[in-house]
């Protein structure tokens, strides 16, 4: 069992999380374990445990949370959130933790790759011949102009992450 070095704890971490949209209800958790018991990701990967992540944040274990794969494993299915007896918005909390990590230039490689695809195409995949098939059956074309999306990504700093993966600086 690992011991926790109290000198490495950051008491401001929980406040940063509480002040980030999605993290406001973190202190309402009373560690019942409903989230962990209902998490489909946890069934396949024991490292992902929403209750443990919340506990680590409350303790101030900033480095351990921010530099782990934990928060990036959340699938966003909201099962934990729907079942939480305290109304902790766990899916939103995981998003808040991701946002805090990115704000501190801690970016998971999977996020970087997704950001690059969205930057390139305005979505996670290239439209390709899908529009021709859609037109044949009377559906509208999927817009292929990523400029508005790129503006948003650039304004939030994610564009820089995406361009690093793509290998461009423009």
pLDDT in tens, 147-157: 999 999 999 88
pLDDT at 71: 85
Q: Is 1 within a domain?
A: no
One domain, residues 60 and 120 = no
Q: Tens digits of per-residue pLDDT, 16-70?
A: 999 999 999 999 999 999 999 999 999 888 878 999 999 999 999 999 999 888 8
One domain, residues 99 and 159 = no
pTM, two decimals, is: 0.77
Domain count, the chain: 2
Task: Say how far apart CA 93 and CA 76 lie, in whole Å.
Answer: 10
pLDDT at 1: 56
One domain, residues 115 and 54 = no
pLDDT at 170 over 70: no
One domain, residues 25 and 54 = yes
One domain, residues 73 and 128 = no
Asked if 160 contacts 115 with a C-beta cutoff of 8 angstroms, the reply is no
Residue 128 Cα distances to 121, 122, 124, 141, angstroms: 10, 13, 12, 11
Task: Say how far apart CA 154 and CA 149 lie, in whole Å.
Answer: 9
Task: Say how far apart CA 42 and CA 90 lie, in whole Å.
Answer: 14
Per-residue confidence band for 143, with pLDDT thresholds at 50, 70 and 90: confident
One domain, residues 135 and 117 = yes
One domain, residues 119 and 61 = no
Answer with the one of 83, 103, 123 that is the final residue of a domain.
Answer: 103
pLDDT at 139: 95
Q: Is 41 within a domain?
A: yes
Burial 4-21 (b: 16+ CB within 10 A, else e): eeeeebbeebbebbeebe
Q: Tens digits of per-residue pLDDT, 56-106?
A: 999 999 999 998 888 888 888 999 999 999 999 999 999 999 999 988 888
Q: Is 155 within a domain?
A: yes
Domain range for 64 is 6-103
What value does the mean pLDDT take over residues 116-141? Answer: 90
Asked if 112 contacts 162 with a C-beta cutoff of 8 angstroms, the reply is yes
CATH code for the domain of 82: 1.10.1060.10
Answer with the one of 103, 118, 140 that is the final residue of a domain.
Answer: 103
One domain, residues 12 and 86 = yes
Asked if 153 contacts 159 with a C-beta cutoff of 8 angstroms, the reply is yes
One domain, residues 23 and 90 = yes
Task: Say how far apart CA 100 and CA 14 lie, in whole Å.
Answer: 11
Q: How many CB atoms are closer than 10 A to CB 146? A: 15
């Amino acid at each position: 069992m690992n011991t926790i070095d109290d000198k490495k704890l950051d008491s401001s971490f929980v406040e940063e999380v509480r002040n980030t949209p999605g993290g406001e209800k973190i202190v309402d958790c009373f560690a019942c374990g409903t989230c962990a018991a209902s998490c489909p990701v946890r069934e396949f990967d024991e490292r992902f445990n929403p209750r443990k992540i919340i506990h680590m944040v409350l303790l101030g274990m900033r480095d351990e949370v921010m530099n782990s794969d934990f928060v990036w494993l959340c699938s966003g299915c909201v099962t934990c959130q729907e079942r939480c007896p305290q109304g902790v918005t766990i899916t939103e909390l995981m998003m808040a933790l991701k946002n805090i990590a990115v704000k501190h230039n801690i970016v998971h490689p999977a996020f970087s790759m997704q950001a690059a695809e969205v930057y390139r195409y305005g979505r996670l995949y290239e439209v390709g011949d899908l529009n021709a098939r859609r037109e044949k059956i009377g559906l509208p074309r999927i817009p292929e102009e990523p400029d508005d999306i790129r503006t948003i990504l650039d304004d939030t700093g994610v564009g820089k992450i995406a361009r690093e993966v793509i290998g461009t600086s423009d």
